[in-house]
Structure 1
Amino acid sequence: MWCIAREASGLDKIGGDSPPVRKEAEAVYLRLRNRYLSVYTLAVFGDWIQGGFAYALYAAYGYSQREISLIFIVGYASSMTIGTYVSALGDTGGHRRNCVAYGILYAASCVLCHSRSLPSLLLGRVLGGVAYSILYTSFESWLIAEAEARRLPRVLLSRLFSFSTFCNAGSAVVAGMVGHLVIEVLPCASRNRFACAFDVAVVSLLGASLVAATRWGERYGDQLHSTGESLLKSYRTIRASRPLVALGLVNSFYEAALYVFVFLWTPALERRSRQGDGTSNMGHGLVFSIFMISKMAGSQASHVLSEYLSPGARLQLVFGGSALCLAAPVLTDSYEYTLLAFCGFEALLGIYWPTIALLRCGSILDAQRASTMAVFRVLLNLLVILVLPLAGGLPEALAFSLAAGMLLLCPALSGILRQAETSTHGKEGHVLVRADDTDTEPGTSSDDSEPIHAEAHEEGLDLAAIPRSPLLPRP
């Protein structure tokens, strides 16, 4: 799927530098893009195809809405606790190892969904929560470490973040269609027909683990400290850095508002689409596909905007626009206008993901990357655990106002990030180097077991032709 997407989009077109640099950088970029997306696309497909049917699966087993909400909260609590520690293991034990474990843990979670036993389902949510933490820490950490080892220019890493967001949304569209096919059209041997989508997820997730184990090299962060020490060090680093505190709060408030939106968009649109007889003719799969296409358009826009606006300025645009979009259900009962506003929110989400990833890339030390991102997600998961039950019990207008309010806190925080940007002299075109190891010999990997010069020689690349300069800003 991502192979088709890369041909249809302009996200992986290279340009800007002198011809020799452009040629060398393009070869490095294309090789890294293909290697990363061959795993990442399978990983997110396995997440998307089950995510849309989890609530329906539990409901089909006869669990009440309150019981289902508790099952989900167990997953978030697992992500906040066990997931934080396991994600930090990527720095000390290897990011690739964590990514391989992601597919295995998530596949085991899907297998447990064939049982209607509450302990089995809760264990599945625990494993899924740990896997979810890995998805949002170790994959990005591996990509940045690999890009730094290969001295990929920052502008091309920004482009790769945008393209991976495009492929993520494209995977969701395909997952929705495949899920509909296996649940509604094809025969299913399971007692719960929704479990068939989870079976497809198992294949995709194990495939991601297999490809990562065979095609990716290992990348590490800080191997000199234990995982607990690495987490404590990351916490102290965040606490001592105003921009890092702001980055963590922005990450948490925005994504907590996103979870509220995910929880509320279905009942909000169903209510507005009801006919005179009280029935709703809303096509859930169609609406979801429209959302994902909007996100794909946003990822394209992010690539274009990166030529004119700094990451901090792009985030200001995202936060202001997102707050307006989530305020729409408070202001109108029109199905069409509300759907349009929600599509706008998804498009802005397509700008947010690659932009926040680029800011994390430039602000977090490589040795503590997975640990720092894991600490960021502690506050996020805590907010979700507190806010989701509250949002579920509030009137719709108040719940969306709560989400919009969290988004309105973000512009002031992103202003701190913009100040950090203007206090440095870095450019997005600069080459990535490890901020905590700038004296490392160019072309060597983080574990010294995979010299990059060897691969470059095989491909006829001249890494010396790519200019080297520090990645900024740094807190």
Structure 2
Amino acid sequence: MLVTAYLAIIFLLVLCVGLELTARRLTPPQPTPTAVANPAFRRFQSVFLRAYLLALWADWLQGPYLYKLYRHYSFLESQIAILYVCGLASCVLFAPFSGWLPQALGRRQTCLLFCLSYSACCLTKLSTDYFVLIVGRVLGGLSTSLLATTFEAWYVHRHVDVYDFPKDWIPSTFAKAATWNHGLAVGAGLVANLLAEWL
């Protein structure tokens, strides 16, 4: 079963690379956008993408092994379900505040709040105490809702208000982030699964 899954992933990866190369060959060459040629913008974009993609990688890395970890702690299916519901419910409950927090606390401080809450969420996984794990899932829900808004709010603010780059350049950064996010999701899933199976 596992071999079939890996073969399917390899097949789909080869197919995606082939389609991408074909699309690039068939698309007429475009003039180089000004954003790509601007070294200050590229440096700023690189700083943002490194931090944001690292946060996304951490989020994706955690998902595949959680169920196995909870089973290893000998929790029942119903208890595991409650842990997952606590995480999802807290994400829903914190979502309305995640758009407000960057304005109230500041964008940078909210990014740091994400890092702290996510680190605490990960540390709670070391405990076998059910209540500590519930607190961890609540912190995970807070972190997930912050991840979806905070880094982007920081980026847009710095892009427009601090560096005064044209707003037309913003989509190029988010397109890169979205493209890398898909690859990170697959890669983190594979790494987490391999670590969960072999360690």
Q: TM-score if structure 2 supplies the norm length?
A: 0.75
Corresponding position of 1:323: none
Higher helix share: 2
Shift in CA distance, 14/38, structure 1 to aligned 2, threshold 3 Å? farther
SS across alignment from 2:126: coil
Task: Output the amino acid matched with 1:33.
Answer: Q
Of 152, 166, 181, the match for 1:168: 181
Of 99, 103, 112, the match for 1:100: 112
Corresponding position of 2:149: 137
Corresponding position of 1:70: 82
Task: Output the amino acid matched with 1:32.
Answer: F
Task: Output the amino acid matched with 2:197.
Answer: E
Structure 1 residues 346-372: Cα deviation after superposition (integer angstroms, max 9, x where no partner): xxxxxxxxxxxxxxxxxxxxxxxxxxx
Of 132, 135, 155, the match for 1:123: 135
After TM superposition, give the deviation of residue 164 of structure 1 in Å: 0.3
SS across alignment from 1:152: coil
Structure 1 residues 263-313: Cα deviation after superposition (integer angstroms, max 9, x where no partner): xxxxxxxxxxxxxxxxxxxxxxxxxxxxxxxxxxxxxxxxxxxxxxxxxxx
Task: Output the amino acid matched with 2:152.
Answer: E
After TM superposition, give the deviation of residue 83 of structure 1 in Å: 5.2
Query: Which sections of structure 2, spanning at least 5 residues, go unmatched?
Result: 1-19, 25-29
Corresponding position of 1:158: 171
Do structure 1's residue 112 and structure 2's residue 124 form an aligned pair? yes
Identity, % of aligned positions: 29
Corresponding position of 1:53: 65
Shift in CA distance, 64/23, structure 1 to aligned 2, threshold 3 Å? closer
Shift in CA distance, 44/69, structure 1 to aligned 2, threshold 3 Å? same
Instruction: Please tell me whether the aligned partners of residues 65 and 196 of structure 2 are also in contact (alpha carbons under 8 angstroms).
Output: no
| RMSD of equivalent CA atoms | 2.6
Partners of 2:76 and 2:140 in 1: how far apart? 21
SS across alignment from 2:156: helix
Instruction: Please tell me whether the aligned partners of residues 40 and 139 of structure 1 are also in contact (alpha carbons under 8 angstroms).
Output: yes
Partners of 1:100 and 1:73 in 2: how far apart? 25
Partners of 1:163 and 1:24 in 2: how far apart? 12
Corresponding position of 1:85: 97
After TM superposition, give the deviation of residue 181 of structure 1 in Å: 4.0
Point out the structure with max Rg over C-alpha. 1
The 5-angstrom pairing of residues 298-447 of structure 1 reads: none
Shift in CA distance, 158/24, structure 1 to aligned 2, threshold 3 Å? closer
After TM superposition, give the deviation of residue 25 of structure 1 in Å: 6.5
Partners of 2:76 and 2:145 in 1: how far apart? 27
Instruction: Please tell me whether the aligned partners of residues 25 and 152 of structure 1 are also in contact (alpha carbons under 8 angstroms).
Output: no
Do structure 1's residue 26 and structure 2's residue 38 form an aligned pair? yes
Partners of 2:192 and 2:104 in 1: how far apart? 37
Corresponding position of 1:15: 32
After TM superposition, give the deviation of residue 88 of structure 1 in Å: 1.9
SS across alignment from 1:99: helix
SS across alignment from 1:81: helix
Task: Output the amino acid matched with 1:40.
Answer: Y
When the two structures are aligned, how many residues end up with a matched partner? 172
SS across alignment from 2:38: helix
Shift in CA distance, 144/14, structure 1 to aligned 2, threshold 3 Å? farther
Structure 1 residues 27-46: Cα deviation after superposition (integer angstroms, max 9, x where no partner): 34312210101101110111
